[in-house]
Amino acid sequence: MGQAERKQRFEEIYRAHYPALLGYVRRRTDSSDDAADVLAEAFTTAWRRLEDVPPDNQARLWLYGVARRVLANHHRDTGRRSALAVKLRAELASCATPAAEQDPSAVRTAFARLSAADRELLSLVGWEGLGAGEIAKVLGRPPGVVRLRLHRARKRLAKELDSAELDLSAYGSRAVSLAKGES
């Protein structure tokens, strides 16, 4: 079968069975976006396996079978995503910092009072998990300069947290000493 014949056959199948397949999929999905995804995957499969599509009305039944399998995969994927979201929410809840548990708005306020450069440095360490050498590459600065700037940014944050009267002892003696201005 030539390319033009393939295209013509597929278009005939599509026009003849699209409405029925759309109804089948819509009744089995929660959103029109999900239905569109499933429908697109079913017709993509029909295009790839055009030689396997039976003639006439049997094509509709074949498409229902394909859509049924695509829907099963879609529902499995949705279940996995939901389970992953639940797991991530639980992990994020268990990672709460002691200061955030005391008063999250006070921590945010203290962080917001820092300069943009200090916030960026501390974010790269705290949120992205980067070390001074990695931050140096990100910022295009020498590692020694980054270490010094990071040290000073930590001191400024500790002072801001101390001025908010948060209990820094949960962070260890280094945080307490930084807040007091000790090195």
Angle between the N-to-C axes of helices 143-163 and 116-126, in degrees from 0 to 180, rounded to the nearest 10? 100
| pLDDT higher than threshold 80 for residue 66 | yes
CA distance linking residue 70 with residue 24, whole number of Å: 12
Residue 73 · residue 66 · CB < 8 Å: no
Count the neighbouring beta carbons within 10 Å of the beta carbon of residue 136. 19
CATH 1.10.10.10 fits 98-179, yes or no: yes
Section 151-180 average pLDDT: 71
- Model confidence band, residue 109 (pLDDT cutoffs 50, 70, 90): confident
CATH class for the domain made up of 3-94: mainly alpha
Section 108-132 average pLDDT: 86
The closest alpha carbon to 101, from 166, 172, 163, 159, belongs to 166
| Every domain of the chain and the residues it spans | 3-94, 98-179
Q: Which residue has the higher pLDDT, 8 or 80?
A: 8
| pLDDT higher than threshold 50 for residue 146 | yes
- Model confidence band, residue 99 (pLDDT cutoffs 50, 70, 90): very low
Determine which of 90-99, 129-138, 155-164 has the lowest per-residue pLDDT on average: 90-99
**pLDDT value of residue 168:** 62
The closest alpha carbon to 166, from 94, 78, 106, belongs to 106
**Residue range 31-52, pLDDT digits in tens:** 999 999 999 999 999 999 999 9
